[in-house]
Copies of this chain bind each other. A is one copy, B any other.
Amino acid sequence: MRNKFNAIYQDLADKINHHNYPVDSYLPSETQLSELYGTSRETIRKALSELLTNGFIQKIRGKGSIVLNLQRFNFPVSGITSFKELNNSLHMNSTTEVLCLEDQHVPLEKFDYQSSSPLLATYVERLRKTNNEPIVLDHDYILKSVVPEISHKVAADSLYDYFENQLGLTISYATKKITVESPTKEEAQLLELNEHQDVVIVRSQTYLEDTTLFQFTESVHRPDKFSFVDFARRQKIN
């Protein structure tokens, strides 16, 4: 990164992960950090504010910034992260099998989405396995108006890598909804489910930085393999 505050954030995050700043200890004060990094205090505060929202530290007024013990929550299952990134980051032994790749209209009713006209998309169906066990079945609808074409090779590797690094798209935000439902027969068979076993479904809509909606995703998870980990800060309802 070429941003100062981002570089400082990275540096501090690394040092916390490597226990250069141990859990329960205090970081140097903001004034000290600004001298250390040769920058202004506000810039330091931007970096610290990132660490705060990501659960690395807690700031206590009059005392300092204390390192939290939440490393195990660092893999963002919340947030927007591709399966390949998770795989690399957690060093899982995972595979992806492309079951279907064709043009389809987005099933808008499934996503509670209103549109005056049908949305043409590339439909990708992929089965994710870890250690040869089926974990997730992903149904992706990528709007043709944004991404005209997707090759089989890209679908088997990583859609996000293709979007961001080949096409230069910037993925910005998403809405997600998690529910528990009965699987279709196809889903039950592919995920090797027992009878009467429900599945966890995560439906999301993903947007680019210019607010263009470009992707609908339905992820069908095996219930016994599903786990969603989150870090939240208290915010009062007004």
Residue positions of A touching B, CB distance < 8 A: 10, 42, 53, 55, 58, 60, 66, 68, 70, 73, 76, 78-81, 85, 88-89, 171-180, 195-198, 200, 207, 209-211, 223-224, 226-238
Total copies of this chain within the assembly: 2
Bound complex: CA A64 to CA B21 (Å): 39
Shortest CB distance A191–B (Å): 13
A200 engages B227 (CB within 8 Å): no
A78 engages B232 (CB within 8 Å): yes
Q: What are 21 A-B pairs at a CB distance below 8 A?
A: A10-B238, A42-B42, A55-B175, A58-B209, A58-B210, A60-B209, A70-B175, A79-B235, A81-B235, A85-B237, A89-B237, A174-B231, A175-B232, A176-B228, A178-B178, A178-B227, A179-B226, A180-B180, A180-B198, A180-B224, A198-B223
Which B residues are CB-close (under 8 A) to A70? 175
Q: Is the interface of A mostly helix, strand, loop or mixed?
A: mixed
User: Which of B53, B58, B224, B235 is close to A80, meaning CB atoms less than 8 Å apart?
Assistant: B235
Bound complex: CA A5 to CA B234 (Å): 18
User: Which of B175, B178, B231 is close to A175, meaning CB atoms less than 8 Å apart?
Assistant: B231
A234 engages B66 (CB within 8 Å): no
CB closest chain-B residue, reference A178: B228
Bound complex: CA A231 to CA B234 (Å): 15
Bound complex: CA A68 to CA B238 (Å): 19
Q: By CB atoms of chain B within 10 A, which of A10, A176, A237 has the most?
A: A237
Which B residues are CB-close (under 8 A) to A60? 209-211
CB closest chain-B residue, reference A53: B53
B234 engages A176 (CB within 8 Å): no
CB closest chain-B residue, reference A24: B211
User: Which of B73, B79, B179, B195 is close to A232, meaning CB atoms less than 8 Å apart?
Assistant: B79
Shortest CB distance A164–B (Å): 9
Bound complex: CA A232 to CA B171 (Å): 11
CB closest chain-B residue, reference A81: B237
B230 engages A176 (CB within 8 Å): yes
CB closest chain-B residue, reference A85: B237
Shortest CB distance A104–B (Å): 25
Shortest CB distance A182–B (Å): 10
